[in-house]
Structure 1
Amino acid sequence: MVCFVPREDGKLRYQSDFQMKIAGAESNCAIGLQKLGHSACWISRVGADEFGEFVKRSVRAEGVSISGVTEDGEHRTGVMFKQTLAGNETTVTYYREGSAASFLSPNDISDEQIKGAKILHLTGITPVLSDSCKKAVYRAIELAKGYHVPVSFDPNIRLKLWKGQDHTNLIRDLAGRADYLLMGREEAEYLYGTGESERLQAMLCRQGTVRYLAVKNGSQGAKVCSATELISIPPYPCHCIDPIGAGDAFNAGFLSGILEGKSLEECGMIGAVCGAMATQTRGDIEGYLSKEELARLLSGQKAAYR
């Protein structure tokens, strides 16, 4: 989507000066991975309009392949607005009903896109947008399983997009198909009735098929686990301005660790650092770290500015 971010805090009714940025959980994660030195391809649909061109140019400028993006001549690109009130969490207003992205379908998912991947990352946002989006997500998972490509999934629950419908069973089903399940503590409580890592570990890793589980808990840090490990990841210090996009940055960092053969604890630490740094800007991706910046932070070094 295109995202309009006011330059000042306050209710939208009083704003007249906005910055135009991009937003979207899957594209955020792709950009985060690309910045960390990995190649990424984003699959979606955008309108054949100026906003669609802006989205494509912005994603491509970050090095992410847009070969999987379809230009839709019949439907517009989705839009959202952010509202930031001092001392309160950022809120968003969506204008994406009938958008090009909501018409994503299985026909937009090709074998070539999936079989060459090392990880397929999906979120719970796309499948609730429309029936065709849901089918596209299941098609992508089907192909990934057929080509032995691990699946990463973030429930990314957005109740505003559920429009009064209950998609809990859908999200739980998709989560159960993931090799790497990356979710917030509140999402875990919503989906499974508990945010306790030990219970989630038993339920999803020992009794289920999830290989790695990360339970993100914002300023409280995170818990990461497998069937045999349960590790607490402390929060990384930061000055939070806007938390939106932090979860996607955590995902990118965590998955980059997996791609580099890091231990579960290292994956969690990388995710925590990436997530924390993402909160220090108003845009979703502007605070995302490069591979060099991450290495410097992990080693405790300070940048030389003069």
Structure 2
Amino acid sequence: MSAQIEPGQSQATDVVTFGETMALFKADTPGPLAHVPGLSLGIGGAESNVAVALQRLGTSVTWLGRVGNDSLGDLVVRELRAEGITVAPIRDDAAPTGLMIKERRTADAVKVWYYRSGSAGSRLHPDDIPADLIARARLLHVTGITPALSSSAALATQQAIDCARAAGVLVSFDLNYRAALWPQEAAGRQFRQIMAKADIVFAGDDEAAIAVGPAPGPGELASRIAALGPTQVILKRGAQGCLALIDGNEYAREAVPVRVVDTVGAGDAFVGGYLSEMLRKSDIDQRLLTANQVGAFACLVPGDWEGMPRRAELHLLDPSDPVSR
């Protein structure tokens, strides 16, 4: 059963992305989870985080994925639709929506507990992939989390990429390695297969090394990835900023300094910022600047995506223009 666009929503979209979005309980205060006074309910998922970043920057997005036929599935769909994202859910009567719980053991240390084994999102299947929807998009964005969820989800990822390539649609891939889901050797093999079909690749230094082996520096890591086929390789380097290898030319940009509250979701925000500017045909410097800015905004508040900015807010991180009038 392929994903269905919900009634009343347009099928025209710039970006299609898919994966597992889960319900999220996050501790309201730092401390052991067993003793915090309360939990706040929300949602989170790497692909939907990117979707929020893109949509807030003015790039239209369709998210598709499996959710349970339950209240948490309702929450996922409602929250994404509230952001203006076109939602193409598959309701699974046989499996629940996944859940994660975020514990703030100290003000700076965050631990996330996942309850996703056998979840609806992990049951994504190649038959769920809407080839016609992907063919009408400008870009398909996938991550390395989805193929780690199950063999059927891995096949669905490859199916979506093949649909995009057949239609001449750009493919963006963020490695997003999760050690709890699979070992490095298996992840590296899958990453290389996907990178060989991708146009744009995002990775952290450690993730890149899983895919192409250790290297003396980020430039060499980017070069090894580019040798597999992608024309745009962007390394997300946190407080060190970012490095990009675009059509064989290397670019670097420093991070935007902020007082960090929560880094979860910052990498997804960075990806959304870069892709939005790329689709606007902005130059490389502007792509990297916006990516760093959106990533920095995501660090300013607790939550995976809540702090991501609208385009009109990007100037707020410019120290020369901090006041809105």
Please give the range of the TM-score, normalised by the shorter of the 2 chains. Answer: over 0.9
Give the structure 1 partner of residue 282 of structure 2.
262
TM-aligned CA deviation for residue 208 of structure 1: 2.7
TM-aligned CA deviation for residue 69 of structure 1: 1.2
TM-aligned CA deviation for residue 17 of structure 1: 0.3
Counterparts of 1:52 and 1:247 in 2: how far apart (Å)?
25
Q: 1:141 to 1:41 in 2, by over 3 A?
A: same
TM-aligned CA deviation for residue 298 of structure 1: 5.7
Deviations 1:121-175 (CA, angstroms, capped at 9, x unpaired): 0000001101110111000000000000010000100111227983221122112
Give the structure 1 partner of residue 113 of structure 2.
93
**Within-5 A mapping of 1:105-124:** 105-124=125-144
Identity %: 34
SS where residue 304 of structure 1 aligns? coil
| Unaligned residue ranges in structure 1 (runs of 5+) | none
Q: 1:233 to 1:108 in 2, by over 3 A?
A: same
Q: How many residues are treated as equivalent by the alignment?
A: 303
With 259-268 and 184-193 compared, the bigger mean Cα shift is at: 184-193
**Within-5 A mapping of 1:93-242:** 93-162=113-182, 166-194=186-214, 196-205=217-226, 207-242=227-262
Of 30, 38, 43, which residue of structure 2 is paired with 1:9?
Answer: 30
SS where residue 159 of structure 1 aligns? coil
Contact preservation (8 Å) 1:214, 1:268: no
Code of the aligned partner of 1:27 = S
TM-aligned CA deviation for residue 303 of structure 1: 3.4
With 154-163 and 52-61 compared, the bigger mean Cα shift is at: 154-163
Under a length normalisation based on structure 1, what TM-score does the superposition of the two structures give?
A: 0.94
With 7-16 and 191-200 compared, the bigger mean Cα shift is at: 191-200
Code of the aligned partner of 1:54 = L
Code of the aligned partner of 1:83 = E
Give the structure 2 partner of residue 60 of structure 1.
81
Of 43, 63, 70, which residue of structure 2 is paired with 1:49?
Answer: 70
Deviations 1:211-270 (CA, angstroms, capped at 9, x unpaired): 111111111111111133111110101111111100000000000011000112221111
Counterparts of 1:173 and 1:182 in 2: how far apart (Å)?
15
Counterparts of 1:170 and 1:233 in 2: how far apart (Å)?
29
TM-aligned CA deviation for residue 301 of structure 1: 2.6
**RMSD (CA atoms):** 1.7
Of 296, 308, 318, which residue of structure 2 is paired with 1:276?
Answer: 296
With 82-91 and 29-38 compared, the bigger mean Cα shift is at: 82-91
Code of the aligned partner of 2:74 = E
Counterparts of 1:5 and 1:101 in 2: how far apart (Å)?
20
Counterparts of 1:270 and 1:263 in 2: how far apart (Å)?
11
Give the structure 2 partner of residue 31 of structure 1.
52
